[in-house]
Amino acid sequence: MGNPPFGKVKDTAVIRARFARSLHGHPNLYGLFTDLAVHLAKPAGGRGGLPDARQLPRRALFQGTAPAAA
């Protein structure tokens, strides 16, 4: 269970490379936190979060539809 932080992140080449699989538009803390939560969870592990209403389209990430980390 997580409560993602909110806020902008400086858009750098390092951030773009590290989060290329899930970065769309300007990077923000919520998106980076969500990416890590999804990809660090064990394959059979659960994921949960407190989404911001603006981020609800990303709810599929918390429903296990995103690929697990390699």
Specify if 36 maps to a domain: yes
Question: What pLDDT sits at residue 15?
Answer: 93
**What's the domain range around 23?**
13-63
Specify if 4 maps to a domain: no
Strand partners, 28: 8
Q: Give the chain's domain count.
A: 1
Specify if 52 maps to a domain: yes
Round to whole Å and give the CA distance between 46 and 21.
21
The tens digit of pLDDT for each residue in 11-54 reads 999 999 999 988 888 898 888 888 888 888 888 877 777 766 66
Backbone angles phi, psi at 18, to 5 degrees: -65, -35
Q: Give residue 37's identity as a one-letter amino acid code.
A: A
Is the pTM higher than 0.85? The answer reads no
Specify if 7 maps to a domain: no
Q: For every residue of 2-33, which 3-state class applies, written as one string?
A: ECCCCCECCCCHHHHHHCCCCCCCCCEHHHHH
Specify if 6 maps to a domain: no
Question: What pLDDT sits at residue 36?
Answer: 87
Specify if 5 maps to a domain: no
Model confidence at 64: pLDDT above 60: no
